[in-house]
Amino acid sequence: MKGMTCNMKGVIDRMEDGFAIILIEERNDEFKVRKTKLPEGSKEGTWLNIAYSDGFYSIHSIDEDMTQKMEQSSTLLLKKLQKRKKTSKFKRK
């Protein structure tokens, strides 16, 4: 794949010790980058447009559409879970 560039999506999974851990689902891979190298406005859960070339990842921009879509999906799932019965099916002794 030398010399070829592949464009893909990645998501910021977590921040730790001044680094962001980016997950690349389509390659089943992850990499870390200094928080200072992230696009402005990046946070956990932000989706990014990423290029892969010669064994290295580079972040091009935030994928606003994918980030919003995934945030809405998470919000809907959370609301569904909150609507469920709040009491346990198990009896206490």
55 lies in some domain: yes
69 lies in some domain: yes
- Give residue 17's domain range: 5-76
84 lies in some domain: no
Q: What per-residue confidence (pLDDT) applies to 50?
A: 97
89 lies in some domain: no
CATH of the domain at 39: 2.40.50.140
* Structural domain count of the chain: 1
pTM for this structure? Answer: 0.76
3-class DSSP state of 45 = coil
Q: Exposure of 2 by Cβ count < 10 A (0-12 exposed, 13-18 middle, 19+ buried)?
A: exposed
90 lies in some domain: no
- Tens digits of per-residue pLDDT, 25-77? 899 999 999 999 999 999 999 999 999 999 999 999 999 999 999 988 888 88
